[in-house]
A and B are shown apart, each in its own frame.
Chain A
Amino acid sequence: MGKYVEMIRIRFLMMLAYRTNYYTGILIYAINISAYYFLWSAIYGGKSSMQGMSLGQMTTYVAISWLARAFYFNNLDREIAMEIRDGKIATELIRPYSYLGMKAVQGVGEGLFRLFFLSLPGLLVVSLFLPLEFPEHAKTWLSFGLSLLFSFIIFSELNLLAGVVTFFTFRNEGLLRAKRFIIDLFSGLILPLSFYPDWAQQLMAYMPFQAISYIPSMIITESFQGAAVRDGLLLQAAWCVLLWFPIVLLWRVAKKRLVVQGG
């Protein structure tokens, strides 16, 4: 356990070492959110509510979606693909830790850094001049925290899954890119899913993507109330468990038929 905690710490420090990234990161986050605020103001065009959400709720939704993304987002799929292609995977596999576990832990370190040092300060800056609406109930914040944790697990599981697939395909840059756009679109990052036409919403209900962004953002804007919060969290938990099986299965097969392409 100790070595995993140590890895989180090291990743965190690695991110901290690059100060220029840090300051520009906050600035860019702030520009991003304010541009979205004006875009949505124009879309609302004076209307008090759309799909049951006020402009304030929508702004908060967008700001929190990007905040959450800073936490759950990682490039584990790319890192795994690169280590397979360079042949580094061979040395990784003989080390005394679980390879996938170590990757996931690195994702945690990166996510914590971005959350506390990039997007939270960015959010504070933005909240000085934009009308963001934050909930007052501690219960909402707790549910949101839990939900965010689930988001991280689901996103990372999808990344690990895509990374492990590289064992079989060798080159899958295109696939990884396609996955990223699908997640942006279907997770509710750029638009709350309630804005999509009904048929699309029904389709998306069967996919794990809405559990990544839509559910935590709906919880923090209090657009989900009572039972809806509980159902959302349960759905996220279910996906966490469900996605675990294909990873374990593919990983077992992959290790057996590993081809190290030099390195």
Chain B
Amino acid sequence: MFYVSVFFQYMAQYMKTKWQYRADLLIEWLSDFMAQAVNLVFLLVVFGHTTLLHGWSRDEMLFIYGFFLVPYAVFGAFFNLWDFNERYIVQGEMDRVLTRPVHSLFQIILERMELESLLGAVPGLIIMLYAGSRLSLSFHWYDVFVFILLVIGGALIYAGIFISLATISFFADARTSIMPMMYNISSYGRYPVDIYHRVIRYILTWVLPFAFVGVYPASYFLHKQEWYGYAFLTPVVGMLFFIIAVMLWSAGVRRYRGTGS
């Protein structure tokens, strides 16, 4: 209960600060849409030159991309750990966090949340609706719940990986440029993994399971039965990676000594 009330108090403060910089907020939205457009343009241009990608059509690829945007938006809103090392370790903010009676990770998540990122899900839903109607996909009443479950699973996978990356800061006093590179890798989970060599497919499934944020769960809605097993594993893999990340985080916090700044 305590955590719920802390959550809403942070949220109220958040709304106030955001409202102060309205122009900046608008530009942030625009740049978010632009980031999504980069990948969309890639798909559209490529499919201007070919009709099938290893048996997958343009609309199926669009649908996968649209789906991916939804868990990604949820992740972006709540797990903004991009500059964790700079802000919390180098500048010593972590010391402040640790003196408070709320779990350190929960606190940082609240401090750094960017609720406006949730809007990134809107283009995703639009792309899915567009591609879905062109593919004339049929849905069951319970698909809404499956969708929510898969989205949460996907968001947890992203969260797990990026929390784990953030914990590196506790162990090595390194400025880490791994995170931006990881963003590049994450995009390969959106393409049908059967096009890759099995080593890469294995990495994208079990080591850095980004395929569970794109092609696997989307296959369920595309009625690709051969991928159903993987699709339903999404929430499991999500929980697993998230739990591992929280455990790593706790181990890191125990080792943390502060920088003295």
Chain A interface (Cβ within 8 Å of chain B)? Answer: 18-21, 24-25, 28-29, 31-32, 34-35, 38-39, 41-45, 47, 50-51, 171-175, 177-178, 181-182, 184-185, 190-191, 195-197
Contact = CB atoms under 8 A, between A and B. Distances in A.
A35 B54 CA distance: 14
A220 B176 CA distance: 31
A24 B197 CA distance: 20
A31 B203 contact: yes
Nearest to B175: A18
Contacts of A32: 181, 184-185
Contacts of A42: 53-54, 191-192, 195
A174 B168 contact: no
A24 B45 CA distance: 32
Given A41-B195, A178-B31, A21 B176 contact: yes
Contacts of B54: 42, 45
Interface residues of B, number: 40
B196 A43 contact: no
Contacts of A184: 38
Contacts of B175: 18, 21
Given A43-B50, A50-B49, A174-B24, A21 B31 contact: no
Interface of B: 21, 24, 26-28, 30-31, 34-35, 37-38, 41-42, 45-46, 48-50, 52-54, 168, 172, 174-178, 181-182, 184-185, 188, 191-192, 195-197, 200, 203
B38 to A, nearest CB: 5
B48 A197 contact: yes
B50 A173 contact: no
A20 B168 contact: yes
Given A28-B182, A38-B200, A39-B195, A196 B27 contact: no
A182 B203 CA distance: 30
B154 to A, nearest CB: 19
Contacts of A34: 197, 200
A47 B34 CA distance: 31
A171 B196 contact: no
| Most chain A beta-carbon contacts within 10 A, residue among B37, B184, B192 | B184
A50 B178 CA distance: 34
B187 to A, nearest CB: 9
B250 to A, nearest CB: 21
Given A20-B168, A45-B53, 14 more contacts: A18-B175, A21-B176, A25-B177, A28-B181, A35-B200, A43-B50, A47-B50, A174-B28, A178-B27, A181-B37, A182-B34, A195-B46, A195-B48, A195-B49
Contacts of A47: 50
B174 A20 contact: yes
A37 to B, nearest CB: 9
B49 A35 contact: no
Contacts of B30: 174, 178
B185 A28 contact: yes
A31 B90 CA distance: 30
Given A35-B196, A51-B49, A191-B45, A177 B185 contact: no
A46 B204 CA distance: 25
Nearest to A192: B45
Contacts of A182: 34
23 contacts: A18-B172, A19-B174, A21-B175, A24-B178, A32-B184, A39-B188, A43-B46, A43-B49, A45-B50, A45-B54, A47-B50, A171-B21, A174-B24, A175-B31, A177-B31, A177-B35, A178-B27, A178-B30, A178-B31, A181-B34, A182-B34, A195-B46, A197-B48
Given A24-B178, A196-B45, A181 B53 contact: no
B52 A45 contact: yes
